[in-house]
Amino acid sequence: ASNKKLLILPGDGIGPEVMREVRRVIDWMDRRRAVRFDIEEALVGGAAIDVHGVPISAETVAKAKAADAVLFGAVGGPKWDGLGFDRRPELAILTLRRELGLFANLRPATVLDPLVDASTLKPEVVRGLDIMIVRESTGGIYFGEPRGIESLPDGTKKGVNTEVYTTPEIERVARVAFELARRRQGRVCSVEKANVMESGLLWRQTVTALREREFPDVELTHMYADNCAMQLVRNPRQFDVIVTTNLFGDLLSDLASMLTGSLGMLPSATLGGLGPDGRRHALYEPIHGSAPDIAGKGVANPMAQILSFAMLLRFSFDMTEDAALIERACTNVLASGLRTADIMQPGMARVSTQVMGEAVTRELDKLAA
């Protein structure tokens, strides 16, 4: 038996479609590299609501805690959009982040050479781009109390969400960002709105103090989130590592995805702290959602999901070589001219999700030969 316990949660919409292509890569590794994973699969999101009545069962959460790594697809869809916040499909991913203590969501935006012209921005602006957005993922306005919709005496209503950050929450995610920067270009840009929010001001003060204490070798700058959105489009290569709050990180990473050509290209890793047993919980997922508008058509780009699996190999299993092999295979397939619809360019060959996935394993065969 293998010691690599993997929990796969395909979810809804294009989730299962792109996950199928990862299974192809996993089968390839089993066949050609004799790497065995001990794999379990479970329902999450709308798929779990339809069968179990909840977006994620306690049993699935327990399995996620027992696994060495979780590979997540995407959840949600119009069918379940009317449900309350205590029952929606999206609660599956929020519950996993919270229950497993996955506070640091790493979202790399890299422009692969073959896709330089696929971006909606000019090639000279995005060529060679390699930024890492570290998004806080268990706090902030996503989880702050009080929250809810209240009826007021005058018959109107009030919707409430609260941005809350404590110094330990800020420090642990900033530490991840500083450590990553040390292995990159040594620069961190911390992003909040310290000009209007107390939680943002505390964020800025805490990150500044942490740098002075523990990371004096890393360059730290600060930027307001609105300016950061603009700077990411104006001159994205000015950034190395960006560290930011849950909500701002959500927005800025979707924005950054378009620098790389498509939302369908961006993988992510969400890491927790070291547990008492020395293990680190970790979950890997594309940053895109279930894409109801293209679900069932077989046209989704599987790259973000496949690259999320490569991140899993690198971060959870220290399998740097295999991770690099998969990333190279993806780049080569794109260089050969194959394109799913979202990254289609003139003169290229438009292919389905499955043909793209098959091309990746064929390329893996070539690289490993």
User: What does the block give as tokens for 349?
Assistant: 């060959």
Considering only residues 18, 26, 44, 94, which one is a binding residue for ligand IPM as defined by CB under 6 A?
94
Size of the site for ligand IPM (CB under 6 A): 7
Residue 27 annotated among the catalytic residues of the structure: no
100 to 119: interface string for ligand IPM, x by CB under 6 A: --------------------
Tell me, by CB under 6 A, how many residues bind ligand NAD.
22
d(Cα 245, Cα 170) in Å, to the nearest integer?
A: 9
Rounded distance between C-alpha atoms, residue 93 and residue 331, angstroms: 29
Put residue 222 in one of left, alpha, beta given phi > 0 → left and psi -120 to 50 → alpha. beta
Asked if 74 interacts with ligand NAD (CB under 6 A), we say yes
**Is residue 220 a contact partner of residue 207, using CB atoms and an 8 Å limit?**
yes
Q: Indicate if the alpha-carbon torsion angle 78, 79, 84, 85 is positive or negative.
A: negative
Known catalytic residue at 250: yes
CA-CA distance, 96 to 61, in Å (whole number)? 7
CB of 290 to ligand IPM, least distance (A): 9
Q: How far is the CB of 77 from ligand NAD (least distance, A)?
A: 6
User: Is 38 among the residues known to form the active site?
Assistant: no
What is the end-to-end Cα distance of the chain in Å, rounded?
A: 27
Residue from the set 22, 252, 291, 326 that interacts with ligand NAD by CB under 6 A? 291
Tokens representing residue 335 in the block: 């260089």
Identify what 138 binds: ligand IPM, ligand NAD, Mn ion, none; CB under 5 to 8 Å per kind. none
Helices marked H in 117-261 — which ranges?
Answer: 123-126, 167-182, 198-214, 225-234, 246-257
Residue 74 in marked binding region: no
Find out whether 203 is annotated in a ligand binding site: no
292 touches, from ligand IPM, ligand NAD, Mn ion, none (C-beta below 5 to 8 Å by class): ligand NAD
Contacts of 31 (CB under 8 A, 6+ apart): none
The pairing of beta strand 349-350 with beta strand 338-339 = parallel
Instruction: Choose the one of Mn ion, ligand NAD, ligand IPM, none that binds residue 10, judging by a C-beta under 5 to 8 angstroms depending on kind.
Output: none
Query: Dihedral (C-alpha) 189, 194, 199, 204: value to the nearest 10 degrees?
Result: 40
* 12, 17, 68, 90: residue in contact with ligand IPM (rule CB under 6 A): 90
Binding track, positions 257-296, relative to ligand IPM; x by CB under 6 A: ------------------------------x-x-------
> Which residues are tagged catalytic?
142, 193, 226, 250, 254
